[in-house]
Amino acid sequence: MAEVLFYHLQGQKLETVLPPLLTKTLERGWRAVLQAASDERVEALDAYLWTFREDSFLPHGTYRERDVASQPIVLTINDANPNNAHVRFLIDGAPLPQESAAYERIVMIFDGDDAGAVAEARLRWAEAKTAGHAVTYWQADAEGRWERKA
């Protein structure tokens, strides 16, 4: 079973926390797939991951590209795992994938300042536990370091 990590953003933007999490994933030698809710979000993240720092970028592609299987990070709106990723990132309330057990980790990132997103995360937590996954809950401290809360 996959380990499911819930990252609770409070006063933080996804664009701030996502690059370090993806970087750590690649440093471990893992591939990642990131599922968003819309093509517009995929396009915005696609542009952002190439330019988030002047001295660095995160190599990635989108699910529409021909060479998607060779990409270390794939941005998508669907449930597929086109690059045989080890880690699946879920944003914008994306559901747990049908083949959850195929991943080492599933990382659900949700906006703690949005009551609807918090309610959705609670439902996903219950789904993950019912499916037999190990679940953990993470929140940033005052310095922005992630602390395990549950």
Domain of residue 141: give its range.
3-148
Note the pTM of the prediction, 2 decimals.
0.95
- Looking at the predicted structure, is the pLDDT value of residue 73 above 90? yes
Average pLDDT over residues 28-43: 97
**Confidence at residue 147, expressed as pLDDT on a 0 to 100 scale:** 93
Q: Which residues 6+ apart lie within 8 Å of 2 measured at CB?
A: 100, 101, 102, 103, 104, 105, 106, 133, 134
Q: Average pLDDT, stretch 49-56?
A: 88
When divided into structural domains, the chain yields a total of 1
Q: What mean pLDDT, rounded, does the chain reach? A: 94
With CA atoms as reference, report the closest residue to 6 among 114, 105, 132: 105
Asked whether the predicted pLDDT for residue 150 surpasses 90, the reply is no
The larger pLDDT score, comparing residue 144 to residue 75, is at 75
* pLDDT at residue 55 tops 90: no
The domain that holds 118 is classified in CATH as: 3.40.50.10110
